[in-house]
Amino acid sequence: MKAALVAIVVLVSAAACGTPVVGVPVPVAVTPAAPTPTTIVVPQPVYVPPPAYVAPGDTAEARTVVAYYDALNRRDFATAWSLGGSRIAGGGGYAKYVNGFATTAWDTLTVTDVRGSTVYVVLSAAQTDGSTRVFSGTYTVSGGVIVGSHMARTR
């Protein structure tokens, strides 16, 4: 009993001094820090419209023209050049051909008909300034390569 009385005196004395005793819970006032504002930057996805390729009859000729525009949309100008860009560029060479697409953001091609080696298309060319140019006409394909084109701007 004397030991218990000594322990109580020690605890009371320690509490009076403000010195916590190990093993005895002592209430502590904690002031939470002000929350730090967090800015979260959510990257916006770049919108790239899907190409609208409609190939009636799914012919080799239509697939060649579709592959040509697919290469252009991927900015794979070397492939587009080899698929016939070199034959329909109108002179000036490869660098001028590539530069001709500098303001084109995306092409959407619709194949409207295929008659033999002639592929009839409507082309909607979205420009980097937000405008759209629309063309219609034909591509002539031979041996898996575009060998000629007759395209006219409709708007």
pTM above 0.85, yes or no: no
Predicted pLDDT at 150: 97
Asked if the model's pLDDT at residue 44 lies above 80, the reply is no
Burial-class residue 133 by CB neighbours within 10 Å (0-12, 13-18, 19+).
middle
- pLDDT score of 10: 46
Rounded to an integer, the average pLDDT of 78-94 is 94
Quickly state the pLDDT bin for 137 (edges 50, 70, 90). Answer: very high
Name the 3-class secondary structure at 148. Answer: strand
